[in-house]
């Protein structure tokens, strides 16, 4: 009886409403930075729109809800903020209700969010009933009891996966592009990161649980691969960006699954900025042609030079991040990804022939990117602190496989397309192409199948 | 497929055994051709060419065409199964017609649309739903698309008399992609033919097979159309249109009437003469320029009569820079390729490629996003808060790599060399052609005695950021591109002594003092950038400097007028600043109004329209009937600029009458597919025509006043009459009410209008 009373009192207590720690500050910084940019962009972009004013109300409330969500400490407040951000996002997506396809996109996303919120509510109830605490901070400190906290973290994970459009909950994001461009920017840079944020916020709940982390890593890598291949197959700029977000969210999950919390946070922020820019800039995409890798070949000389560049990147990265190169733990995988990128960059720069001057320049560029990325991570890691520094000490097969997949997919795409073709055979390839193409289509009702069904005016 | 009943075996047998006899084959070919005639081509978004979306109906009076097109293109409720057929067609069209968005592209495209699709469709369970009969049908399709069409038509039991209509409906229920296929078959220029073929029957074959698979009772489509025709109670557009035409043209014609008697007040030797494009955006600037000094202006189609194309030596792209109704005869280098510039451009291209290679790849984009996050955020902020600076920075970085539009470098020795005979190879226009172009150009405008020290040929282009529709704002006479290249070439030609000598024999005198230079009219900010040799003498340089300062004044005046400011002197700088911000703002959806509100075209000398407030709504073509004894110059104006202006006018007219059916819809939710066109949101039919933001002030209030083009020719009636008799296609446009023609006869000073009533040239006096 007294316990219940305590619970009621807890709900009304205000001192634990917010927890503005480093994570919250980073996220708030990101949200307000993006929010401000997107509001300013929208002022002229949306001018003349018949729902101009409502658009800004909704955008304002979305930004506020997100800001509350990332700084909330109180379970109930957190839940409310999540729910309201989801609600306002779906309203923004269905910007013009008379346009049925857009209206459906909003509805479809909301349906997914409801499903997620149900699990979030369930997770929070478990956490509250088990710990008798409403403060997220305290819950995280108390986390110990496995079966209970694991159930809660599985539920949290489901919410996070829906929010971040992780396989198999990716469909809503692929179907979300009926929204005005700045809404897409906010969605892809701000809202979908919500999943990653929740994982980080409840990080300690996951920290000791290797099985869940491995699971997160596996879905992350799979999502990343699926998102990438879909992105490469898309024919319109926005869906290509959406698929790319799915890939990036998958990678973010993989980073979390490795226990690299601070790397995850860095990814959330950096990818958010990058993707918001790409969406806002999507009107310029006519002049950017996709690159044809099919006749790529490297001379041994260039390969050696590129490998040296890769080494330089990794060295500067490790120096600035104060880390050993090729560690036998989770840190290896971000290094692998960076290394592959550096190799690709160097070989691209050197591909059209090079002499000492070009080589030195490439050396410089590659060292700079390693040092730059390393220092960002170093700063975040040191301030963020709770980065559960390499809980994955021993390299296990799951992680090894994931990392290998990331390398192999790149190698095959760059240099093995013809081999893959001959191994699979034309027919099988056709079949794979069609099934991947169909899998990456948005929900059928969110496509405007007849011109006259597209509408821009609220009242005709 | 739960919605459609499975095909029974008798259907299948029919489909597979009906072998088309030879005479029937010819027949189906004709039917296909006829069906396609209802579809007007639509150009890719990169080279937006304004055209009449109802081009297929110009053979009938516009009133009837509007009724028919409303039944064909403007139906909101199309039969349910069409939705799923369209969805699959859109999916496959996006895949096949992609020009560089996808890094993993559709396999087998070299087989052509139909055969490529046929190979993949077998695996598409969204088409056959796992139904064995349907899979068998797909497997048994022949490789000849025309045969397949006739087989499917008989399988669907479409009666012979309805086959054409059925095919028409197959096209018009998804008009956007059909218009793109039509473009690929009939309008693409030779220099950059699409790699993968998609013939008219290819597209129709894929379309009808999908129809047969998803809607076995597709015969109902015919019935649906018949009911559409019956309850066609569309708003009477023509009423609205002719009223707004009168609002502008009636006062205009009355004012012109009073001007006929005005003698051409020669202002002595003008300090400079300008030749602008006929574009309606030139007119306000011309007026402003004339008001600030002793300047004379002319109007000529912005390609200045040069059927040229420009080649980018780095990308090896050849871009025609003349109206689409002409074929470009000469290919010139886009820029003079000094070695340094060439290698710089190459470098820039390679860096771009490296970036794309990292972006469109496995694994590397994951790190790329992290590496570019902060710079992207910074750049985004810069563009949002300081658009003018960001655009300047961008220009500085991009300048060596990418100069917008066509540009022949004037410093080049090759073109500056006075020795024409050897040079004609370099400039790629044979000497005789140069003479012909120069003579026609000057004679048409009536520039017979050129004494002015400076003659400026102004090509035009727009400067906008992040604007997929920017080519719709460029020069229509240059095929949706910047016309500065043409201006440079024409002034280069006219500066030549040998050309000038020759022109003298033809009665055109050019004073020794005269220098021809090229200008670039930036229609977004109304700035004019002059391009000239650095080596010219000091005196000329001073003249040019003076001219530049006057041009700044006229720019401000023109901008102020368009910003609707009452006190131009006080606020003119602000107006220009505002225009510059609009021009560099990446979030701006209305950087400029383009050719919105175009309504009339005046073919005649400038003094006729001087002091008349044309409100930037008129195309002005300079023409002097006295130098056109045989009417051939007028004939080429009627057949050229008038037709182009009519296309532009129709594009604006229909985009504003129904922005969903004939326009691209709002830019707010636009998406770009395959680097070729606009779609809305997640996916839609290819949108063709102008975006909402080009014709509307806001969602509800239009900006463009829908009206047909009124052409007013200042020339003896006899001459106009005979020209018209020789050009039946233009006459047909007028007779069917797509275009209006007035003639002001300088001899009897009466205004005539060509009547629509009968097929003869009947003129109504006004």
Instruction: DSSP for B627-680, please give it.
Output: G-TTSHHHHHHHHTHHHHHHHHHHHHHHHHH-TTTSS-B-GGGEEEETTTEEEE
Hey, are the CB atoms on A177 and B671 less than 8 Å from each other? yes
Residue A284 and residue B680: Cβ atoms within 8 Å? Answer: no
Distance from CA of B409 to the nearest CA of A (A): 23
* Cβ separation A47–B126 shorter than 8 A: no
Beta carbons of A341 and B371 less than 8 Å apart: yes
A contact test, residue of B105, B314, B366 with most A CBs within 10 A: B366
Under-70 pLDDT residues of chain A: 1-15, 143-146, 290-296, 385-395, 458-460
| Residue pairs spanning A and B at CB distance below 8 A | 345
Measured in angstroms, the CA of B632 and the nearest CA of chain A are apart by: 41
A247 touches chain B (CB under 8 A): yes
Residue A115 near chain B (CB below 8 Å): no
Report the distance separating Cα B26 and Cα B648, nearest Å. 36
Token output for B287: 């007026």
pLDDT digits (tens, 9 = 90+) for B468-493: 999 999 988 888 888 998 998 898 88
Instruction: Check if A235 contacts B (Cβ < 8 Å).
Output: yes
Q: What pLDDT sits at residue A324? A: 75
Backbone φ and ψ for B631, nearest 5 degrees, come out as 75, 5
Question: Among the ranges A107-116, B11-20, B441-450, which has the highest mean pLDDT value?
Answer: A107-116
pLDDT, residue A458, reads 66
Q: Which of B366, B587, B699 sits opposite A49 (nearest CB)?
A: B699
A186 touches chain B (CB under 8 A): no
Write down the pLDDT at residue B266: 61
Higher pLDDT, B192 or B170: B170
Give A347-400 as a DSSP string: HHHHTT---HHHHHHHHHHHHHHHHHHHHHHHHHHHHH----TTS--S--HHHH
B3: confidence class by pLDDT, cuts 50, 70, 90: very low
Q: What is residue B8's predicted lDDT score, i.e. its pLDDT?
A: 44
> Over the stretch B200-233, which tens digit does the pLDDT of each residue have?
999 999 999 999 999 999 889 999 999 888 876 6
Mutation target among B127, B362, B372, B666 for the A interface, most CBs of A within 10 A: B362
Partner-chain residue, chosen from B75, B106, B589, that has the shortest CB–CB distance to A45: B589
Q: Which of residues 22-51 of A touch B (CB under 8 A)?
A: 33, 37, 40-50
Task: Please check the confidence at residue B7 and state whether its pLDDT lies above 70.
Answer: no
Q: Is the pLDDT of residue B344 over 90?
A: no
Q: Are the Cβ atoms of A457 and B675 closer than 8 angstroms?
A: no
Nearest to B638, CA basis, from B706, B708, B732 = B732
Residue A68's pLDDT is what? 95
Mean pLDDT score across all residues of chain B: 85
Q: How far is B191 from chain A (nearest CA, A)?
A: 18
Instruction: Tell me if chain B has a CB within 8 Å of the CB of A328.
Output: no
Query: Most B CBs within 10 Å: which of A236, A335, A343, as the mutation test of the B interface?
Result: A236
**Yes or no, beta carbons of A447 and B102 under 8 Å apart:** no
Interface list for A 419-438 with B (CB within 8 A): 426, 429-431, 433-435, 437-438
Contact B665 A454 (CB under 8 A): yes
Which has more pLDDT, A22 or B25? A22
Strand partners, B673: A236, B677
Point out the residue among A102, A290, A406 whose CB comes nearest to the CB of B102: A290
Interface contact flag, A50 B682, Cβ < 8 Å: no
pLDDT beyond 70 at B717? yes
For residue B346, the model assigns a pLDDT of 80
Q: Do A290 and B674 touch (CB under 8 A)?
A: no
Strands of B436-513, DSSP E: 449-450, 454-461, 509-510
Residues B670-687 pLDDT 10s: 999 999 999 999 999 999
pLDDT in tens, B101-155: 898 889 989 999 999 999 999 999 999 998 999 999 999 999 999 999 999 999 9
Q: What is the pLDDT of residue B54?
A: 93
Inter-chain contact A430–B76, Cβ cutoff 8 Å?
A: no
User: Phi and psi of A418, rounded to 5°?
Assistant: -70, -35
Write out pLDDT tens, residues B508-547: 999 888 999 999 999 999 999 998 876 778 888 888 999 9
A344 and B358 within 8 Å at the Cβ level: the answer is yes
Residue B531's pLDDT is: 86
CB contact (8 A) between residue B660 and residue A430: no
CA distance B555 to chain A (A): 24
pLDDT (0 to 100) of residue A295: 60
CB contact set of A451 (below 8 Å; sequence gap of 6+): B73, B175, B176, B660, B661, B684, B685, B687
pLDDT, residue A53, reads: 92
A314 contacts chain B (CB < 8 A): no
pLDDT at B192 over 70: no
Q: Residues B191, B319: contact at Cβ < 8 Å? A: yes
Give the nearest partner residue to B680 out of A251, A290, A454, using CB atoms.
Answer: A454
Q: A147 or B424: whose pLDDT is higher?
A: A147
Tokens representing A97 are: 């209700």
What average pLDDT does this structure show over B724-747? 92
What pLDDT, in 10s, does the model give residues B613-646?
Answer: 888 999 999 999 988 888 999 999 999 999 999 9
Q: Distances in Å between the alpha carbon of A179 and those of A365, A393, B223, B572, B682?
A: 38, 44, 36, 38, 9
Tokens 């955008």 found at: A59
If you measure CA to CA, which chain A residue comes closest to B664? A451
* Mutate: best of B77, B169, B587, B588, partner A, most A CBs <10 A: B587
Beta strands in B351-404 (DSSP E): none
The answer to whether A33 touches A270, Cβ cutoff 8 Å, is no
Q: Provide the edge-to-edge strand list for the sheet that holds B295-299.
A: B295-299, B272-276, B454-461, B515-522, B527-531
Chain B contact for A355, CB < 8 A?
A: no
CB contact under 8 A, A232 and B102: yes
Rounded distance between C-alpha atoms, residue A238 and residue B670, angstroms: 9
Would you call B703 exposed, middle or buried from its count of C-beta atoms within 10 A (0-12, 13-18, 19+)?
A: middle
Nearest to B587 among A45, A289, A434 (CB): A45
Are B679 and A236 a contacting pair at CB < 8 A?
A: yes
Query: What burial letters (b/e) apply to A429-457, b meaning 16+ CB within 10 Å?
Result: bbbebbeebeebbbbbbbbbbbbbbbbbb
Measured distance CA(B650)–CA(B707) in Å, rounded: 8
- pLDDT band with cut points at 50, 70 and 90 for residue B565: very low
Give B312's contacts in chain A (Cβ within 8 Å): none
N-term to C-term CA, chain A = 60
> Taking Cα atoms as reference points, which of A226, A221, A293, A274 lies closest to residue A250?
A221
Predicted local confidence at residue B194, as pLDDT: 77
């Amino acid at each position: 009886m007294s316990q219940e009373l305590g619970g009621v009192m807890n709900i009304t207590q205000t001192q634990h409403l917010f927890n503005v720690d480093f994570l919250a500050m980073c996220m708030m910084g990101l949200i307000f930075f993006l929010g401000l940019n997107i509001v300013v962009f929208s002022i002229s972009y949306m001018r003349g729109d018949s729902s101009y004013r409502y658009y800004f109300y909704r955008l304002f409330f979305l930004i506020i809800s997100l800001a509350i969500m990332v700084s909330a400490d109180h379970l109930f407040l957190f839940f409310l903020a999540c729910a309201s951000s989801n609600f306002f996002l779906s309203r923004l997506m269905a910007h013009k209700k008379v346009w049925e396809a857009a209206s459906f996109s909003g509805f479809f996303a909301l349906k997914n969010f409801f499903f997620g919120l149900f699990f979030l509510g369930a997770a929070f109830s478990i956490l509250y009933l088990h710990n008798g605490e409403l403060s997220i901070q305290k819950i995280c400190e108390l986390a110990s009891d496995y079966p209970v906290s694991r159930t809660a973290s599985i539920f949290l994970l489901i919410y996070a996966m829906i929010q971040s459009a992780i396989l198999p909950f990716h469909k809503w994001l692929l179907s979300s592009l009926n929204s005005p461009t700045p809404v897409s920017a906010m969605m892809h840079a701000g809202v979908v990161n919500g999943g990653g944020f929740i994982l980080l916020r409840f990080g300690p709940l996951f920290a000791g649980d290797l099985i869940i982390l491995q699971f997160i890593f596996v879905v992350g890598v799979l999502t990343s691969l699926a998102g990438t291949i879909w992105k490469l197959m898309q024919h319109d700029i926005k869906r290509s960006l959406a698929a790319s977000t799915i890939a990036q969210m998958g990678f973010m999950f993989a980073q979390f699954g490795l226990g690299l919390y601070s790397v995850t946070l860095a990814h959330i922020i950096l990818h958010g900025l990058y993707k918001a820019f790409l969406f806002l800039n999507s009107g310029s995409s006519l002049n950017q042609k996709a690159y044809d890798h099919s006749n790529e070949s490297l001379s041994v000389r260039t390969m050696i030079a590129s490998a040296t560049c890769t080494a330089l990147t990794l060295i500067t990265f490790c120096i600035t991040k104060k880390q050993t190169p090729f560690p036998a733990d989770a840190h290896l995988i971000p290094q692998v990804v960076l290394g592959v990128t550096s190799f690709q960059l160097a070989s691209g720069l050197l591909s059209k022939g090079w002499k000492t001057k070009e080589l030195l320049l490439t050396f410089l560029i590659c060292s700079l990117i390693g040092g730059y990325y390393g220092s960002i991570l170093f700063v975040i890691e040191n301030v963020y602190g709770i980065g559960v520094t390499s809980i994955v000490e021993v390299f296990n097969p799951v992680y090894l496989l994931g990392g290998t997949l990331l390398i192999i997919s790149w190698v095959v795409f760059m240099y093995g397309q013809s081999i893959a073709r001959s191994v699979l055979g034309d027919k099988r390839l056709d079949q794979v192409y069609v099934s991947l193409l169909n899998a990456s289509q948005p929900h059928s009702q969110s496509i405007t199948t007849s011109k006259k069904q597209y509408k821009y005016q609220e009242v005709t | 497929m739960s919605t459609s009943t499975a095909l029974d075996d008798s259907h299948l047998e029919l489909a597979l055994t009906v072998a088309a006899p030879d005479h029937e084959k010819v027949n189906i070919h004709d039917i296909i051709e006829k069906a396609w005639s209802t579809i007007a081509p639509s150009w890719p978004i990169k080279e937006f060419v304004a055209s009449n979306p109802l081009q297929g109906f110009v053979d009938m009076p516009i009133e009837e065409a509007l009724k028919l097109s409303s039944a064909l293109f403007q139906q909101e409720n199309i039969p349910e199964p069409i939705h799923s057929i369209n969805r699959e067609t859109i999916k496959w069209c996006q895949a096949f017609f992609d020009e560089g968005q996808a890094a993993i592209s559709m396999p087998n495209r070299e087989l052509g649309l139909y055969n490529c699709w046929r190979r993949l469709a077998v695996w598409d369970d969204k088409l056959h739903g796992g139904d064995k009969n349907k899979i068998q049908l797909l497997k048994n399709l022949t490789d000849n698309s025309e045969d397949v069409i006739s087989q499917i038509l008989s399988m669907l039991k479409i009666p012979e008399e309805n086959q054409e209509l059925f095919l028409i409906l197959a096209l018009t229920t998804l008009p956007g992609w059909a218009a793109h296929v039509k473009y690929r078959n009939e309008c693409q220029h030779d220099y950059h033919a699409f790699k993968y073929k998609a013939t008219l029957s290819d597209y129709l074959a894929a379309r009808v097979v999908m129809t047969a698979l998803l809607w076995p009772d597709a015969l109902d489509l015919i019935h649906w159309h018949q009911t559409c025709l019956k309850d066609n109670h569309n708003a009477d557009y023509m009423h609205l249109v002719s009223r707004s035409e009168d609002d502008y043209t009636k006062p205009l014609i009355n004012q012109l009437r009073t001007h006929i008697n005005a003698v051409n007040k020669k202002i002595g030797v003008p300090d400079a003469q300008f030749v602008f494009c006929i574009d309606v955006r030139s007119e306000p600037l011309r007026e402003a320029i004339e008001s600030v000094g002793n300047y004379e202006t002319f109007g000529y189609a912005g390609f200045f009569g040069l059927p040229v194309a420009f080649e980018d030596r780095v990308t090896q792209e050849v871009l025609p820079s003349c109206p689409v109704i002409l074929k470009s005869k000469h290919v010139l280098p886009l820029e003079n390729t000094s070695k340094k510039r060439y290698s710089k451009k190459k470098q820039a291209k390679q860096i771009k490629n490296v970036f794309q290679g990292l972006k469109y790849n496995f694994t590397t984009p994951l790190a790329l996003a992290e590496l570019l996050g902060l710079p992207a955020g910074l750049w985004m902020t810069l563009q949002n808060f300081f658009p003018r600076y960001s655009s300047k920075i961008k220009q500085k970085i991009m300048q060596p790599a990418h100069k917008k539009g066509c540009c022949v470098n004037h410093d080049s020795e090759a073109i500056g060399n006075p020795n024409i005979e050897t040079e004609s190879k370099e400039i790629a226009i044979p000497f005789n052609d140069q003479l012909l172009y120069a003579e026609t150009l000057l004679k048409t405008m009536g520039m017979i005695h050129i004494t002015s020290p400076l003659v400026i040929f102004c090509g035009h282009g727009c400067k906008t950021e992040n604007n997929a529709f920017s080519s719709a704002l460029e020069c229509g006479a240059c095929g949706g591109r910047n016309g500065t290249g043409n201006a440079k070439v024409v002034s280069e030609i006219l500066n030549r002594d040998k050309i000038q000598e020759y022109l003298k024999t033809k009665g055109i005198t050019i004073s020794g003092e005269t220098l021809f230079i090229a200008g670039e009219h930036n229609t977004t900010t109304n700035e004019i950038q002059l391009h000239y040799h650095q080596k010219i003498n000091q005196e000329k340089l001073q003249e040019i400097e003076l001219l530049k300062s006057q041009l700044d004044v006229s720019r401000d005046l023109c901008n102020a007028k368009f910003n609707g400011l009452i006190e131009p002197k006080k606020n003119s700088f602000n107006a220009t600043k505002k225009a510059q911000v609009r021009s560099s703002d990446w979030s701006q959806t209305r950087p400029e109004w383009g050719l919105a509100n175009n309504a009339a075209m005046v073919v005649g000398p400038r003094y006729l329209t001087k002091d008349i407030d044309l409100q930037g709504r008129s195309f002005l073509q300079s023409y002097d009937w006295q130098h056109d004894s045989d009417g051939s110059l007028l004939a080429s104006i009627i057949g050229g600029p008038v037709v182009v202006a009519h296309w532009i006018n129709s594009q604006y007219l229909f985009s504003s009458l129904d922005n969903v059916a004939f326009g691209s819809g709002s830019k707010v939710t636009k998406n770009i597919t395959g680097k070729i066109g606009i779609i809305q949101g997640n996916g839609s039919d290819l949108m063709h025509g102008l975006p909402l933001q080009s014709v509307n002030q806001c969602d509800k209030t239009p900006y463009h006043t829908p009206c047909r083009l009124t052409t007013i020719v200042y020339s003896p009636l006899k001459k106009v009459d005979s020209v018209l008799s020789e050009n039946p296609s233009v006459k047909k446009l007028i007779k069917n009410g797509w275009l209006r023609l007035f003639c002001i006869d300088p001899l009897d000073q009466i205004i005539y209008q060509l009547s629509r009533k009968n097929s003869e040239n009947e003129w109504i006096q006004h």
